[in-house]
Amino acid sequence: MSAGRGILSLMIKYVNLLLRPIYKIYEKWLWLQISGGPIPKHVAIIPDGNRRWAKEKGMPMTYGHEIGYDRLRDVLRWLLDLDVKVITIYAMSYENCIFRSEDEKKHLFNLLEKALNDLMSSDIIYNERINIRVFGRLDMIPRELLDKIREVEEVTKNYSNRFINVALCYGGRQEIIDAARKLIYDVINGKVDVNELSEETFRKYLYTSHLDDVLDEPDLVIRTSGELRLSNFLLWQIAYSELYFCDVFWPEFRRIDLWRAIRSYQRRERRFGK
């Protein structure tokens, strides 16, 4: 079995070597298609498929998450190179934080802490002046991770050139419930007149209230792994977002997959319900 797997791995390696020149040509052709078109200001990503990818490879799920983290670093760089202003990553859902095993959650929390440390030790957030925000039910995460999040947010709070949002233990329904709870409290205390309540007022109570009224709504939402659902992600904010579903698992998401998503976005007519 191991010999057969080794032969298959070698065959895949040689096929990839043969296809590399074709890939480069296609990449250049794709870039020519999108480079002159509108680039979304806000891209939100549901990076799905780490566990299934690892299972297909005969590897533990933790390996899938680690490779998924490496891919995330690449994708963030590609998006910044495209001059995308706001990037929102669905790191863990509210349901993940309830139902995943303690070992898997610990591994994911450790990866996120590593990501934050990597950002803090690199030049990218300072050179690009990136505001980092992590939102969700943060009462469900370890104290050490929460302290690191608060540290990064404090360091970057005055930056406004770019924004990277991380949705952690996040649920769209939970966000709306939390916003409604805060709003009701302010109505009771006379801070808000219920007769003058509007969408603009309600948005100030959402987790994305640090963004202005244009940037808090993603222009493009990308989900990998072929799943055709939103999984309780940014339910308020994506009312008029363009959705793009990609068949590849997140660890195999390539720059051309991102550019295909951008091309699809550019070819759509955005009417915002009109």
- For the stretch 82-118, pLDDT in tens is 999 999 999 999 999 999 999 999 999 999 999 999 9
Q: For 238-272, what is each residue's pLDDT tens digit?
A: 999 999 999 999 999 999 999 999 999 999 988 77
pLDDT of the residue at 15: 56
Annotated active-site residue in 74, 81, 83, 96: 96
* Average pLDDT value for residue range 194-209: 94
Task: Give yes or no for residue 201 having a pLDDT over 80.
Answer: yes
CATH number for the segment(s) 40-266 = 3.40.1180.10
pLDDT of the residue at 190: 95
Alpha-carbon dihedral angle through residues 181, 184, 190, 191, given to the nearest 10 degrees: 50
Please return the burial class of 45, using the count of CB atoms within 10 Å of its CB with bins 0-12, 13-18 and 19+.
buried
pLDDT of the residue at 181: 97
How far is 82 from 56, CA to CA, in rounded Å? 32
pLDDT of the residue at 231: 97
Task: Give yes or no for residue 7 having a pLDDT over 90.
Answer: no
Q: For 158-187, what is each residue's pLDDT tens digit?
A: 999 999 999 999 999 999 999 999 999 999
Reported as a pLDDT band with limits 50, 70 and 90, residue 145 is very high
3-class SS string, the chain: CHHHHHHHHHHHHHHHHHHHHHHHHHHHHHHHHHCCCCCCCEEEEECCCHHHHHHHCCCCHHHHHHHHHHHHHHHHHHHHHCCCCEEEEECCEHHHHHHCCHHHHHHHHHHHHHHHHHHHHCCHHHHCCEEEEEECCHHHCCHHHHHHHHHHHHHHCCCCCEEEEEECCECHHHHHHHHHHHHHHHHHCCCCCHHHCCHHHHHCCCCCCCCCCCCCCCCEEEECCCCCCCCCCCCCCCCCCEEEECCCCHHHCCHHHHHHHHHHHHCCCCCCCC
pLDDT of the residue at 13: 59
Q: Is 48 among the residues known to form the active site? A: yes
Task: Give yes or no for residue 4 having a pLDDT over 60.
Answer: no
pLDDT of the residue at 16: 64
Q: For 26-63, what is each residue's pLDDT tens digit?
A: 899 999 999 999 999 999 999 999 999 999 999 999 99
